Chains A and B, each alone.
Chain A
Amino acid sequence: MKKVFSLLMVTLLLLVTVVSGNIQVGAADDLAQLKAEITWWNFPNFMAVDGVIGKYEQSIITAFNQKYPNIKVNLENIDFASGPEKINTAIQGKTVCDVLFDAPGRIIAYGKSGVLADLSDMFTGEFIKDVNNNNIINACKVGNKYYMYPISSAPFLMGFNKNMLEKHGLLNMLNLKGDRTWTTSQYKALLEALKAKKERGAIIFCSSQGGDQGTRAFIANLYDSSITDEKITKYTINDQGGVRGLEFVVNAIKSGLLLNGSASDGTAAIDEFCAQRVSHTILFSSGLFATKKDQIKFEPIMVPFPSADGIPELEYLIDGFCVFDNGDANKIKASKLLIDFICNDSIWGPKNVKATNTFPVRSSFGNLYKGDETMTYLAGLTKYYSPYYNTIDGFAKMRTAWFPALQAAFTGDKTPKQALDDFVKVANDSIKQ
């Protein structure tokens, strides 16, 4: 009897395995045959191939089409200056793309507005376990729904012109050991030494809106302030440390150690660094280095922001994808397949991360930059990551208030304290709205 029962169970198990296998194969076949036409809007995060933006992305699409021949992907490259407005206009006009490659700051705001498709089904137990980073996972969701599928991450740092420092014998004023951390007084000494050698300091850019996170992190670090509280419920950069930080910057501009960037945007400030007209930039990253590689004719060196206690709190970039809900289930399905291919394909996943010159969120991808000293150094900075506040309510409104606050302090319209107090008031009001 036992034997008969065992035989029956084994037969049943085999039957279930075969049937479920067939279903899975059938489902995979169905997906491979899925017919759809989708549009992918892409900020310039991947490296340009042969100086052509979008060429690398086209190679991804070609590879994707070998696996999914019936999904047509239309690529449109957008830029950081006008792209966000284009997306907002398109959302309103119901002409927005299907897939967007961006960062949580904007994506989560779209998610809160209810225009994105839920990606929760892509956040499998295996994926969450592989990412193994609550900061990153939490940055991708609103409530219980996931709206951004992350692929890579990298810290924002300062960039110095190593050749320029060597030429003037000032390289030893940077800490090049360990995590390269340093103090605000060491930074001030370097600024004075650079001025004595008739070299210009960094441009504290505050025009347009791009790159604003770099200026916030720079000022917050100088005297150990923090942009928000630990639980990210309110802005706190108007505390004593924040005010001292902004006073330091205002005084450094007045004495010619740093440059007033009221008329310069982040891109212009980085371009001036690349053109060697300034000694350093307060916003640099491995990804930026990759996209500017052709313009840089010197060796840049990345260091964290200086702080009073020598322990920096770094802002970091998370790259990821979202899918707009355009009311077509087929398009949403196709978009998810594209994202899955870009982020998780065994060959193209790691290759795509390397093409952004950032670090994979999947730990299983391992060290993609073996032998690269700079990337190995950057990979070790995650312990300095600060609370990720880019998903806070009213983030867009807060951003529009930040640069005017800096400009008000730089032009003397307001004292640093008044400027930061007014900024924090607007920023905290934006959370409530």
Chain B
Amino acid sequence: MDNNSLKAQGNLIMPPLKDARFRRWRTMPKDIHETIVAGVFLLPAICFFAVFVVYPIIVSIFTSFFNYSINRFEFLGFGNYINLFKDEVFLKSMKNTIVLVIGVVPFIILFSIFVALTIYQKSSLVCSFFRGVFYLPVVTGTVSVIVVWKWIFDPLSGILNWFLETLGMINQPIMWLGDKHYALWSILLVLFTTSIGQPIVLYIAALSNLDKSHIEAAEIDGATNWQVFKYIKWPCIMPTTLYVVVITIINSFQCFSLIQLLTSGGPNYHTSTVMYLVYETAFKLTQFGYANAMGVILAVVIGFFSILQFKFFSNKVEY
């Protein structure tokens, strides 16, 4: 690129100025120039990220080494972390959290792929209708959806018990959220229904973008539906799967509002999750340091699971 065209390009970006600093700016190498411009555009987002994400993370890690409450701030070293591993309620909550993740994520993936495969080739009206139906819980708002579920599960006046009693399947009302045998399953069901909306929409989009010639060629060669899915569709939607798995696992690990609104961690901590315990410890007991230590442990566990997923899936992802 000659000097004149560089100048002309510079003129497009900046108005002609006689100041020496701006002359230097216009004659600057293109890559540096672009980097600076990109940085300026990113600056508001970086500031926002630094203030509302990076800073709180640093403060959380720092305060997790302190006995930090409303009127105390004493250094404990690893005291909070040591106490956490002796804390039965924390260990129970961690176990529940992992059960939730393992119990719900595979079903979300399988169900989402099944729904997407079933409807992605239907007419746009049908496809939009089902997308709307499955996405409705996502846009309705968590609290509203959970309140409805609470009514459904109500042991005295809930529709679920009424339905099962009417069918003669149960004689006594079941306390879905208060019985240790059913509570975690009920939470799993609600978490499942509130989590499938986004994966279904993403899978429909991914499947709709597949190159149809590959599928047609395979079908002409006599491939069965299963073979088409296994050798063509599944590898092609792997980037979407990686994204869905990572995001769904992180969201399931951070399950809080469901627990807060449905069971408050009960009965006897059978549905308590780490995020709920963080909330209870910080805002009911005002033990902020201890709560932050729980948060740090949870972040480490989520990080570990995320690394595993990238290791497992990234070899199979072709962009």
Please give the residue numbers on chain A whose beta carbons come within 8 Å of chain B beta carbons, in ascending order.
84-85, 88-89, 91-92, 110, 112-115, 200, 206-209, 259-265, 272, 277-278, 396-397, 400, 403-404, 407-408, 410-411, 413-414
Task: Find out whether the CB atom of B178 lies under 8 angstroms from the CB atom of A260.
Answer: yes
Task: Find out whether the CB atom of B175 lies under 8 angstroms from the CB atom of A209.
Answer: no
Contacts of A403 in B (CB 8 A): 264, 266
Bound-state Cα–Cα, A396 to B262, Å? 22
Contacts of B175 in A (CB 8 A): 260, 262-263
Contacts of A414 in B (CB 8 A): 268
Contacts of A209 in B (CB 8 A): 264, 284
Task: Find out whether the CB atom of A411 lies under 8 angstroms from the CB atom of B284.
Answer: no
Q: Does B70 contact A (CB under 8 A)?
A: yes
Contacts of B157 in A (CB 8 A): 277
Number of residues of chain B lying within 8 A (CB) of chain A: 30
Contacts of B264 in A (CB 8 A): 207-209, 265, 403
Task: Find out whether the CB atom of A272 lies under 8 angstroms from the CB atom of B156.
Answer: yes
Task: Find out whether the CB atom of B269 lies under 8 angstroms from the CB atom of A92.
Answer: no
CB distance from B151 to the nearest CB of A (A): 11
Task: Find out whether the CB atom of A413 lies under 8 angstroms from the CB atom of B70.
Answer: no
Bound-state Cα–Cα, A54 to B278, Å? 32
Closest to B173 in A: A259
Q: Does B71 contact A (CB under 8 A)?
A: yes
CB distance from A280 to the nearest CB of B (A): 14
Task: Find out whether the CB atom of B268 lies under 8 angstroms from the CB atom of A92.
Answer: no
The residues in B between 267 and 319 inclusive whose CB is less than 8 angstroms from any CB of A are 267-270, 279-280, 283-286, 288
Q: Does B179 contact A (CB under 8 A)?
A: yes
The residues in B between 5 and 56 inclusive whose CB is less than 8 angstroms from any CB of A are none
- What are 11 residue pairs bridging A and B, where the CB atoms are less than 8 Å apart in the complex? A88-B284, A209-B264, A209-B284, A260-B175, A262-B175, A263-B178, A263-B266, A263-B267, A400-B285, A404-B268, A407-B268
A-B interface, 8 closest residue pairs, ranked by CB to CB distance from nearest: A262-B178, A263-B178, A263-B177, A407-B267, A85-B283, A262-B267, A407-B268, A113-B70
Q: Does B263 contact A (CB under 8 A)?
A: yes
Name 10 extra pairs, CB < 8 A, besides A403-B266, A413-B180.
Answer: A85-B279, A88-B286, A92-B288, A113-B71, A207-B264, A259-B156, A263-B175, A397-B285, A408-B268, A411-B180
Contacts of B65 in A (CB 8 A): none
CB distance from A68 to the nearest CB of B (A): 31
The residues in B between 172 and 194 inclusive whose CB is less than 8 angstroms from any CB of A are 175-180, 183
- For B178, give its contact among A110, A264, A397, A400 (CB under 8 Å): A264
Q: Does B155 contact A (CB under 8 A)?
A: yes
Please give the residue numbers on chain B whose beta carbons come within 8 Å of chain A beta carbons, in ascending order.
69-71, 153, 155-157, 175-180, 183, 262-270, 279-280, 283-286, 288
Known contacts A88-B70, A92-B70, A209-B284: A263-B156 contact under CB 8 Å: no
CB distance from B67 to the nearest CB of A (A): 10
Closest to A410 in B: B267
Task: Find out whether the CB atom of A411 lies under 8 angstroms from the CB atom of B270.
Answer: yes
Contacts of A265 in B (CB 8 A): 264
CB distance from A254 to the nearest CB of B (A): 12
- For B283, give its contact among A89, A410, A411 (CB under 8 Å): A89
Task: Find out whether the CB atom of A206 lies under 8 angstroms from the CB atom of B285.
Answer: no
Contacts of B279 in A (CB 8 A): 85
- For A85, give its contact among B69, B180, B262, B284 (CB under 8 Å): B284
Closest to A399 in B: B284
Q: Which of A110, A206, A410, A411 has the largest number of chain B CB atoms within 10 A? A: A411
CB distance from A338 to the nearest CB of B (A): 24
Q: Which of A85, A262, A263, A411 has the largest number of chain B CB atoms within 10 A? A: A263
Bound-state Cα–Cα, A181 to B232, Å? 78
CB distance from B127 to the nearest CB of A (A): 39
Closest to B180 in A: A411
Closest to A409 in B: B268
Bound-state Cα–Cα, A113 to B264, Å? 26
CB distance from A259 to the nearest CB of B (A): 8
CB distance from B59 to the nearest CB of A (A): 12
Task: Find out whether the CB atom of A263 lies under 8 angstroms from the CB atom of B176.
Answer: yes
Bound-state Cα–Cα, A261 to B286, Å? 27
CB distance from A97 to the nearest CB of B (A): 15
Task: Find out whether the CB atom of B283 lies under 8 angstroms from the CB atom of A88.
Answer: yes
- For A262, give its contact among B179, B283, B286 (CB under 8 Å): B179
Bound-state Cα–Cα, A88 to B284, Å? 8
Task: Find out whether the CB atom of B263 lies under 8 angstroms from the CB atom of A263.
Answer: yes
Closest to A110 in B: B70
Closest to B286 in A: A88
Contacts of A110 in B (CB 8 A): 70
Closest to B186 in A: A263
Known contacts A263-B263, A407-B267: A400-B70 contact under CB 8 Å: no
CB distance from B55 to the nearest CB of A (A): 14
Contacts of A207 in B (CB 8 A): 178, 263-264, 266
Contacts of A262 in B (CB 8 A): 175, 177-179, 266-267
Contacts of B156 in A (CB 8 A): 200, 259, 272, 277-278
Bound-state Cα–Cα, A84 to B156, Å? 29
Contacts of B178 in A (CB 8 A): 207, 260-264, 407, 410
CB distance from A19 to the nearest CB of B (A): 44
Contacts of B269 in A (CB 8 A): 404
CB distance from A344 to the nearest CB of B (A): 30
- For B71, give its contact among A114, A206, A397, A407 (CB under 8 Å): A114
CB distance from B160 to the nearest CB of A (A): 13
Q: Which of B279, B285, B288 has the largest number of chain A CB atoms within 10 A? A: B285
Contacts of A206 in B (CB 8 A): 266-267
Contacts of A397 in B (CB 8 A): 285
Closest to B262 in A: A263
Bound-state Cα–Cα, A209 to B157, Å? 23
Contacts of A411 in B (CB 8 A): 179-180, 267-268, 270
Closest to B283 in A: A85
CB distance from B152 to the nearest CB of A (A): 12
Closest to A419 in B: B268
Contacts of A264 in B (CB 8 A): 178
